[in-house]
Amino acid sequence: MNVDRDRLREDLEANAEFGEIETDEGRGRTVLTGTEANREAREYLVARLEDAGLDVRIDAVGNVAGRWTPESADPETAPVAAGSHLDSVPEGGIFDGPLGVYSALEAVRTMQDAGVEPERPVEVVSFTEEEGQRFASGLLGSSVAVGERSVERALALEADDGTTLESALDAMGFRGEGRIDASEWDSWLELHVEQSERLTDAGVPVGVVTAITGITHCEATVRGEADHAGATPMGDRTDALAAASEFVLDVERAANEVVTSASDTAVGTVGSLDVRPNATNVVPGEVEAGVDVRDVDRDAMEELVRRARRSLARLERERGVETEFRRPFDLAPTPMSDRVRAAAHDAGEAAGIETLDLHSGAAHDTMHVAGVTDAGLLFAPSREGISHNPKEWTDWDDCATATRVLAGALADLAGA
């Protein structure tokens, strides 16, 4: 099988023109759900899917799927699906999302050109609003495809300007019918840019993700007593910020220790501090700290959360502050399917392309899909690890190499 690098590049460059922004360096685009740029990107995709002879279906929340059912396949068997998303963050790059959609299409065309005869249909999918910039907080289309959010609730989602997803899809002509149901797929694969530098560092062109990180967000409140910074002697203070500073260092220390003792992929960050009253001449009375904990190992995540709580208990004892701890957001790590990972490694080996096991520190639609069917995620190298930025770049050769592995894995999974 030979991937047509220039055909893939043409599609990605055509897609890059929709929502293109002026930039001094690199190539950027802004494609938010329901905008003119989004309509153009969707229409171009549909045309390209149809050019390749795929049957295109748009569901009620604007998810797009093109199905290839070759003579060799039983149309009644569960298809193998692959894809990603076409929306972007504001002033994002041209690969995050589109690479996954157009590599899936190129994989199908590659199989067609090579006369591959799969037993199952192969589906190319583009999910609505993965980046969560307008209607939801992220992974919108896939949340409906896996049944986590109903079509009705999704359509009622409102943007800041009061536009509903339903009216935005109507305006673009992309509110279809029914629901693309990911649980009906035999398996799923997404190719995405790595967004870090592990592949480049290792000199390996394709990553096979072992698990997508779990994420938990915690909020810690530290309450002391606001007082005059000049008139309050050092011995009479309950300084909330001084105590919160120890909390920040405790979280960092705990993460470093968990990395050496339990899981080297664990990370813990106090990313925000809200200080009240936040005045130079006032002893801080209250601090709100935002904690982000991630890992592919659930136990390591729990250990970090426990250590954060323990730090607060110590500060209550030693510094006389009052504390509160909340955990408003928690998402468990998502392991990728062994079967799909094996198909990816085998495809790399058969094509003489080296592959590397690594984890994903960012969320992707695949996270949802993995809840309802066997799912896998491939990474292509990101130059300097940069993404969500016009400087995001993956060399065209690397795009083609990763697509070759994708095509091989899809052919394998589809029983070719």
Interface ranges with Zn ion (CB under 5 A): 96-97
Judged by beta carbon, residue 146 or residue 305, the one nearer Zn ion is 146
At closest approach, how far in Å is the CB of 276 from Zn ion? 37
CB of 387 to Zn ion, least distance (A): 8
Shortest gap between Cβ of 210 and Zn ion (angstroms)? 19
Closer CB to Zn ion, residue 97 or residue 205? 97
User: In the complex with Zn ion, which residue's Cβ is closer, 86 or 244?
Assistant: 86
Q: With helix as H, strand as E and coil as C, how does the chain read?
A: CCCCHHHHHHHHHHHHCCCEECCCCCCEECCCCCCHHHHHHHHHHHHHHHHCCCEEEECCCCCEEEEECCCCCCCCCCCEEEEEECCCCCCECCCCCHHHHHHHHHHHHHHHHHCCCCCCCEEEEEECCCCCCCCCCCCHHHHHHCCCCCHHHHHCCECCCCCEHHHHHHHHCCCCCCCCCHHHCCEEEEEEECCCCHHHHHCCCEEEEEEECEEEEEEEEEECCCEECCCCCHHHCCCHHHHHHHHHHHHHHHHHHHHHHCCCCCEEEEEEEEEECCCCCEECCEEEEEEEEEECCHHHHHHHHHHHHHHHHHHHHHHCCEEEEEEEEEECCEECCHHHHHHHHHHHHHCCCCEEEEEECCCCHHHHHCCCCEEEEEEECCHHHCCCCCCCCCCHHHHHHHHHHHHHHHHHHCCC
User: Which lies closer to Zn ion via its Cβ, residue 110 or residue 360?
Assistant: 360
CB of 365 to Zn ion, least distance (A): 8
Minimum CB separation of residue 135 from Zn ion in Å reads 16
In whole angstroms, the minimum distance from the beta carbon of 96 to Zn ion comes to 4
Residue 195: CB minimum distance to Zn ion, A: 8
**Considering beta carbons, is residue 96 or 392 the nearer one to Zn ion?**
96
Q: For the chain, what is the largest distance between any 2 Cα atoms, rounded to a whole number of angstroms?
A: 86
Q: Which is nearer to Zn ion, 68 or 95 (CB)?
A: 95
Tell me if the bond preceding 277 is cis, omega within 30° of 0.
Answer: yes
Closest CA to 34 of 148, 104, 135, 160: 135
Residue 97 or 224: the one with the smaller Cβ distance to Zn ion is 97
Token pair for residue 77?
């068997």
Least distance from Zn ion to the Cβ atom of residue 133, Å: 12
Cβ-based nearer residue to Zn ion, 66 or 83 = 83
Least distance CB 397 / Zn ion (angstroms): 21
**290 or 385: CB nearest Zn ion:** 385
